[in-house]
Structure 1
Amino acid sequence: MRWPDHAIWWHVYPLGFTGAERAALPPGARPAHRLDRIAGWLDHLVALGCNGLALGPVFDSETHGYDTVDHFRVDPRLGDEDDLLRLVEAASGRGVRVLLDGVFNHVGRSSPRFADVQAQGGASPYAGWFVPDGDGGFRTFEGHHKLVALNHDEPAVADYTVEVMSHWLERGVDGWRLDAAYAVPAEFWRTVTDRVRARFPDAWLLGEVIHGDYAGFVERSGLDSVTQYELWKAIWSSLNDRNFFELAHALTRHDGMLQTFVPQTFLGNHDVTRIASRLDDERHLTHALVILLTTAGVPSIYAGDEFAFHGIKEEREGGDDAIRPAFPERPDETTGHGAPHHRLHQGLIGVRRRHPWLVRAHTQVATLTNTALSYTVGQGEERLGVVLNVADEPAKADLPTAGWTCIAGDAAFHGEGALIPPQGWAIAHP
């Protein structure tokens, strides 16, 4: 197994986490050196059971980090390159991998290259980097005026992307999340990933893809994985609607992806409403986490979800603030630290750690009703059974005949299944 098969990520949005200013510091301002605050949480990450730190944007930008100005410079609101390298070193010293977030679909309008094009027009050496929109301006990302789209037919853009990714891989990071990968031609990614992988064969390259043919995109792009939004949606939607048929369908599709790649799975990230706010019944936070950590994939925990943080994403300026809050300097100062949901994360991640084959395990549903679900997950000779009940009365669930022994949760197992208490769940070993 390669190292990504053992990865369980703790995902942080640095600008929010550290309480950074909403907009870039004025020119000449001294760096704020806030990245040390994230380093102070590394022991929490490890105690949770994770072994990867997935960082959101850390590069010089105008506001939220996805309007990058300079990919070679750490955002002064967070610190400088030395701060980032110290964080990477501190993580490495604990056996923690580091993933950076790279935006190569677009840049902020104050990017020096775009500014040069605006000043010199076609005489700029970067004229081919951007695409005129026919109205005297340039093409933007999904209509966002402040995000100027890069021209991915321009070879120099691919050269620049390879240079940036290689620069930071040389300095000790372990991989990249590629923002808005779905908006970039897969053929562009292939030219980049082939060149990066030739120098850094162990780097893990993850693309943000919302929907569509995940497996086909992976094959054409050369990426290792993409974000599994289909499963994310099916988990919370099936729990809210008390309709496990939706989840079962998604698990079948999820299984099929394993023939091509291992998806990146999650219940939350910096772009979506917190799972505790998304679910209509907070008792189902447990069921959601059980599903995440007993199905195939490379899972991530969005910082704060282990404490059952709430936060609703809104489509307005500042609408991400609630899901990207500032964190205290010390984990034990956080509301929810040491509480049942935090301990549940530790327990279920521990189950995952003791059964690393789950990363590529196939799922087979045994019992399926609107409110009860049982399935087995297995790879080779390894197998676990999972039972879930979201009704307010006990439920019976079948499993293949075996000497099932409960290893987590609460259910009365017998040779061919289990009796699950109201709102209950359990994981069993044959």
Structure 2
Amino acid sequence: MRDARAHTQYYVFVDRFASGDSSLGGKNPAALDTTRSDPFRYWGGDLAGLLQYIDYIDKLGISCLRISSVFEQMPALALDRGRLSAPYHGQWIADYRRLEPHYLPREEWDRPFADRNTVFDRLVQACKQRGIRLILDVVCDRSNPGGEGWVPGEIWDDGSWQSSTENDTFGWYRRSSYREDEGTGDSPVRFQENRASFRKVMREVLSDWLARGVDGYCFDAVQRLPIWFWQELTACLRLAHPEVSLCGTATARGGWEEAAVDFANQAGMRLMDAGFQRRIVESLCWRDAGGFRRIAHYLDRDEVFEDATSLVTCLENEKTPRLLSQGMPKEHLLLALTLLMTSRGVPCIFYGTESGLHDDTERGNDPYNRPMMREFDLDSPASRALSILTALRRDNLAVQRGHYRTLWLSDDIFVYSRVYAEDRVVVALNRGGAAKIDVAEVPLSNGPWVDVLHGAGVFVHEGQIVDLELPSGAARVFADTRHREHVGTRVLCRLSGYSSRFGESVVVTGNVPELGQWDVEAAPRLHYVNRNLWMGDVYFGVSRGKRVLYKYAVVDERGSVVRESTMPRAADVPQESGEEWADRWG
């Protein structure tokens, strides 16, 4: 597994981002709405348009671009919550090895998978040149619903017919009921995950796209398939492609639902933290009692996850109304972005969030939460702040991994710190009227400190800030980022499953010099993140490229040592930095 905590994701809905080719139209003229008045049709966004604005994304500091599904969709219209809809959302896949014609120049339609001379491949290369990882949205649990001239579940493989619900030669489809209006139950085009042949094809397809240059996937509606399916898929993909990035989204009501926590802890991939996004809405859009207390209390319970720092967090997504459609004042957009970018987890920015993009039709619910991108302004206050915060996340380990602590909290004011090794960050947010507060237990050294966003200054003395001025809507970020000089290959060791007690520390020891050669006193120490999580970097020199043995031990304040009761683990030290060894106390 690769450490992705320094990344900032940007999620683009391809059809609603930018149009770069006016000749596009797709195979069914009825599926395209050139007036962009029917949100259930294609609006003309394409891969050429996305490529045209790749520098905009790069200058925001984005290091991971996630895009909606670009696989070829069925050309027919079908009912979506009672209305005829085109598959602009990418959910009704017809061929996993072909690209959707609506996103391509006409001359690139129907090209075989082996053809690498497409606008998609040019996008892949543009991302690699800028150091941006490319993530594709994928639907694994279902096919397409069919429509006029198109049989339900009709699916092809690189242009060759495979199956449909009417001629299900491989037994890939379920046979059960579905209520389309509620989206519950089993869809008539839901795949049968128990079919080994279906799982084999899915693994092969996803592996082939990785070989084509894609860096990972975000899987939709992961709750519709059992965890064992995702464990198998994740393990197989990582075996062939160790650096692959994998994430899942679920339509859960909150992060504490048992199924969501189980998935995050057991599936082997990151989970989009729906609970975090919901608390953001409650904290910044609702004006009733609670305010910032809601998100603070949510973060206080991070220990329920094996690793809360690897969850993917967002302010907005393709399934929920935009913040401004839910009542958040636009002037509080900076508060929301600052909270997202400095909290634990891997932040994901939905396209247009940085410009306050929204459409309040029908209260901004899907599909009105997916308007056409209107602004690409790098000089707006929110865009400038985002570029600063992406750089801070990239460089500051406290932002990536640090222990979270609330320093000052009310409905309207939220001050918190994060600490990791020598790195520190202190964040102050004010959604209410102008205020002046005293903050204690500030983990910054004595002296003046300057807000990285606006240049406002404070003075820290013996862990206190006296008379911290917070204008209405203010966001302040004070960061201490230490530049580290290390030699060797860096591996992040992560340990969960041990309930820490005050005064204890955790070390990782093993059979090589970099791990102390089984001497606990010489072993590298990990850093406390929360009661269930410790992390630390180990730098390998002479052992780089070798297979090593290691295990963890706990040392209390008196020097007493408790070692894991399991056999030592074996792992291959990589040649390059960035790998993560994720372990559970045993």
Which category of TM-score, normalised to the shorter sequence, fits these structures? 0.7 to 0.9
Q: How far off its partner does 1:365 sit?
A: 0.5
In 2, Cα distance between the equivalents of 1:92 and 1:238?
37
Higher alpha-carbon deviation: 254-263 or 169-178: 254-263
Q: Alignment partner of 2:407: what SS?
A: strand
Aligned positions of 1:351-366 closer than 5 A = 351-366=392-407
- Please, which runs of 5 or more residues in structure 1 have no aligned partner? 329-333
Aligned positions of 1:367-382 closer than 5 A = 367-382=408-423
**Greater RCO between the two (CA within 8 Å, min separation 6)?**
1
Q: Which amino acid aligns with 1:306?
A: E
Residues 24 and 257 (structure 1 numbering): CA distance in 2 closer, same or farther, change over 3 Å? farther
- Please, which runs of 5 or more residues in structure 2 have no aligned partner? 32-43, 75-86, 147-152, 157-161, 481-586
TM-score normalised to structure 1 length? 0.86
1:331 alignment partner in structure 2: none
In 1, Cα distance between the equivalents of 2:23 and 2:186?
21
Q: Which whole-Å deviations, capped at 9, do the CAs of 1:185-210 have from their partners, x for residues lacking one?
A: 11111111111111011101101123
Q: 2:176 aligns with which of 115, 126, 133?
A: 133
Q: 2:215 aligns with which of 162, 174, 177?
A: 174
Q: 1:345 aligns with which of 383, 386, 403?
A: 386
Residues 197 and 281 (structure 1 numbering): CA distance in 2 closer, same or farther, change over 3 Å? same
Residues 1:284 and 2:332 aligned together: yes
Compare the two structures and name the one with the higher helix fraction.
1
Q: Which amino acid aligns with 2:439?
A: D
1:94 alignment partner in structure 2: 130
* Preserved CA contact (<8 Å) 2:46 2:103: yes
Q: How far off its partner does 1:178 sit?
A: 0.4
Q: 1:218 aligns with which of 242, 259, 264?
A: 264
1:72 alignment partner in structure 2: 97
Residues 46 and 293 (structure 1 numbering): CA distance in 2 closer, same or farther, change over 3 Å? same
Residues 1:238 and 2:283 aligned together: yes
In 2, Cα distance between the equivalents of 1:161 and 1:102?
11
Q: How far off its partner does 1:215 sit?
A: 4.1
* Preserved CA contact (<8 Å) 1:374 1:397: no
Higher alpha-carbon deviation: 157-166 or 96-105: 157-166
Q: How far off its partner does 1:336 sit?
A: 4.9
Q: Alignment partner of 2:368: what SS?
A: helix
Q: How far off its partner does 1:146 sit?
A: 7.8
Q: Which whole-Å deviations, capped at 9, do the CAs of 1:128-179 have from their partners, x for residues lacking one?
A: 2111126xx8999924998721112222221122112101001111110001
Q: How far off its partner does 1:396 sit?
A: 0.8
Aligned positions of 1:286-325 closer than 5 A = 286-312=334-360, 314=362, 320-325=366-371
Max Rg structure: 2
Q: How far off its partner does 1:321 sit?
A: 4.3
* Preserved CA contact (<8 Å) 1:236 1:288: no
Higher alpha-carbon deviation: 297-306 or 145-154: 145-154
Q: Which amino acid aligns with 2:421?
A: G
Q: 1:407 aligns with which of 448, 451, 466?
A: 451
Q: How far off its partner does 1:259 sit?
A: 3.4
In 1, Cα distance between the equivalents of 2:92 and 2:15?
13
Q: Alignment partner of 2:121: what SS?
A: helix
Residues 57 and 144 (structure 1 numbering): CA distance in 2 closer, same or farther, change over 3 Å? farther
In 2, Cα distance between the equivalents of 1:325 and 1:92?
28
In 2, Cα distance between the equivalents of 1:274 and 1:427?
25
Residues 1:53 and 2:85 aligned together: no
Identity %: 24
* Preserved CA contact (<8 Å) 1:363 1:378: yes
For these two proteins, the number of residue pairs brought into alignment is 413
Residues 1:103 and 2:152 aligned together: no
RMSD, aligned α-carbons = 3.2
Residues 1:425 and 2:475 aligned together: yes
Q: Which amino acid aligns with 2:449?
A: T
In 2, Cα distance between the equivalents of 1:33 and 1:325?
11
In 1, Cα distance between the equivalents of 2:240 and 2:53?
31
